[in-house]
Amino acid sequence: MNMAILRVEEIIEATGGELLSENSKTFKGVSIDSRTIADEEVFFAIRGERFNGHDFLESALVKGSGAIVDTRPEPLPKGKVIIYVNDTLRSLQNLARFLRMKRDIPVVAVTGSNGKTTTKEMIYEILSKKYKTLKNEGNLNNHIGLPLSLMRLSPDDEVIVLEMGMNAAGEIRRLCEIAAPSHGVITNIGSAHVGRLGSYDAIRDAKLEILEGPGVAIVNADDSYLMQGIENIKHFDGRIITFGVNNEAHVMAKDVRITERGSDFILEAGDRGSMPVSLNVHGLFNVYNALAASAVSFSLGMSIDEIKTAIETYRAFPMRFEVLRKNGITVINDSYNANPSSVEESLKELIRLAAGGRAVAILGDMRELREFSEDEHRNTGKTVSGIGIDIFIAVGDMMNLAAKESMKAVGDKRGPQAFSFRDIDIAKKNIMEILKQGDTVLIKGSRTMAMERIIEGITDAV
């Protein structure tokens, strides 16, 4: 794995730290975990809600070559570099910004209520075919993970692609201060984090913080709520590139058709031309993700032929609308996470994929909705009832409210057959008493629900 080469003098310049030891050394990367620190790495003793990195300083220095601390160790470890700072987390962030600002290269920042990880991966898939590209791995998208990702910046990297997550107002602004993006991508505005931020306007405002620095904005033209917000912001005077399926946009998908493999569509990009694309992942939302990635890639000088070739090699990541075949049942494993808007989109795709067979939704509780939880789960029940689901299997106390709501008849129309289970273990044990061959099954819930364990119940069935 590439890591930045760090000199003690650079660390002190970036952090304003004080060198407590007499050593002068060059480090090959940083670590915040004493268990995995490697030789020649410097240890940042981060203070968290449940841990204090200073408690692990001694073990970190067994392998690590030095440490950045905000408590002066007594006595000083021999043969190790110790740098004292006022705030180790802030210093980690400042060092990451220092390294990024040394390089005059494009930085693409991606946020949105849904699809940001997939969009980031698709952007990386395309750009890496032409440029040496750095991305943040997994979900290292917060105030700690993003700086750690920038620490891997190497001299030959030509583009950086960073997913930016947030739980509160101001967090994306801070991430942009660290990464100084040239391009800001907003996939959509949905209900993720409504429990923390308190309103949909607050969610939109928090996402729009990503446009306070970049010169290029890539946004979803079909998200009217997002576009409304963009029209009202005063601080962005850069170039706006739109993508969409329904509304006129700079980059569009025309004639979208569902296939057994994923989706086929015509990629249209104005004077850049048009070309048929076969996407090997399911879901209309993934068409949007591909359009966002294509728009970024066009802006960075890639041709439509290069984009088509690259995007057709993309494959689904585990637990993100991953389509599997188990014991004669089509399983859509979308269990990585859930919020009301992403559940609704996945339910729509379930109906499309069921194609005449039974459509079965297995949904677990959506967490972090706080005071909105009961209302949002009941609304999900109404969505399940109105969208045409045949079987609804609810897991968890809150989703059981959705199941009750889904069974309420609306006029002559009756809701789905509904089953409720208190937890995942009971649901897993009983699942094959409900399912049968030919069913198409969506599995989705918040990460802490571990809904993927349902698949074990389907796979292990005799």
Is there a contact between 214 and 183 (Cβ–Cβ < 8 Å)?
yes
Tally Cβ neighbours within 10 Å of residue 339: 22
Angle at 34 between CA 31 and CA 39, to 5 degrees: 65
Note the pLDDT tens digit of each residue in 244-276: 999 999 999 999 998 889 999 999 999 999 999
Angstrom distance (rounded) from CA 78 to CA 4: 25
Is there a contact between 93 and 147 (Cβ–Cβ < 8 Å)?
yes
Using 50, 70 and 90 to split pLDDT, how confident is the model at 462? Answer: very low
Note the pLDDT tens digit of each residue in 290-306: 999 999 999 999 999 99
Range from 219-233, 303-317, 405-419 carrying the lowest mean pLDDT: 405-419
Average pLDDT over residues 129-140: 92
Is there a contact between 440 and 456 (Cβ–Cβ < 8 Å)?
no
Of 119, 286, 101, the closest CA to residue 218 belongs to 119
Angstrom distance (rounded) from CA 119 to CA 140: 15
Using 50, 70 and 90 to split pLDDT, how confident is the model at 449? Answer: very high
Q: Looking at residue 196, what is its pLDDT?
A: 53
Using the predicted structure, report yes or no on whether residue 371 has a pLDDT greater than 80.
yes
Give buried/exposed letters for 266-296 (b at 16+ CB in 10 A, else e): ebbbeebeebebebebbbbbbbbbbbbbbbb
Tally Cβ neighbours within 10 Å of residue 29: 18
Using the predicted structure, report yes or no on whether residue 23 has a pLDDT greater than 90.
no
* Measured CA distances, 223 to 241, 249, 251 (Å): 14, 12, 14
Query: Bigger pLDDT: 24 or 113?
Result: 113
pTM of the model: 0.91
Q: Looking at residue 409, what is its pLDDT?
A: 56
Using 50, 70 and 90 to split pLDDT, how confident is the model at 411? Answer: low
Q: DSSP 3-state assignment of 452? A: coil
The secondary structure element, H or E, covering residue 17 is: none
Average pLDDT over residues 9-31: 91
Average pLDDT over residues 52-67: 94
Range from 172-176, 222-226, 232-236, 271-275 carrying the lowest mean pLDDT: 232-236
Name, of 191-195, 353-357, 416-420, the range with top average pLDDT.
416-420
Average pLDDT over residues 297-320: 96
Q: Looking at residue 235, what is its pLDDT?
A: 76
Q: Looking at residue 270, what is its pLDDT?
A: 95
Average pLDDT over residues 357-366: 97
Using the predicted structure, report yes or no on whether residue 2 has a pLDDT greater than 90.
no
Q: How many CA atoms lie within 13 A of 410 on its CB side?
A: 12
Average pLDDT over residues 335-361: 93
Q: Looking at residue 203, what is its pLDDT?
A: 87
Backbone angles phi and psi of 316, in degrees to 5: -65, 145
Angstrom distance (rounded) from CA 435 to CA 82: 60
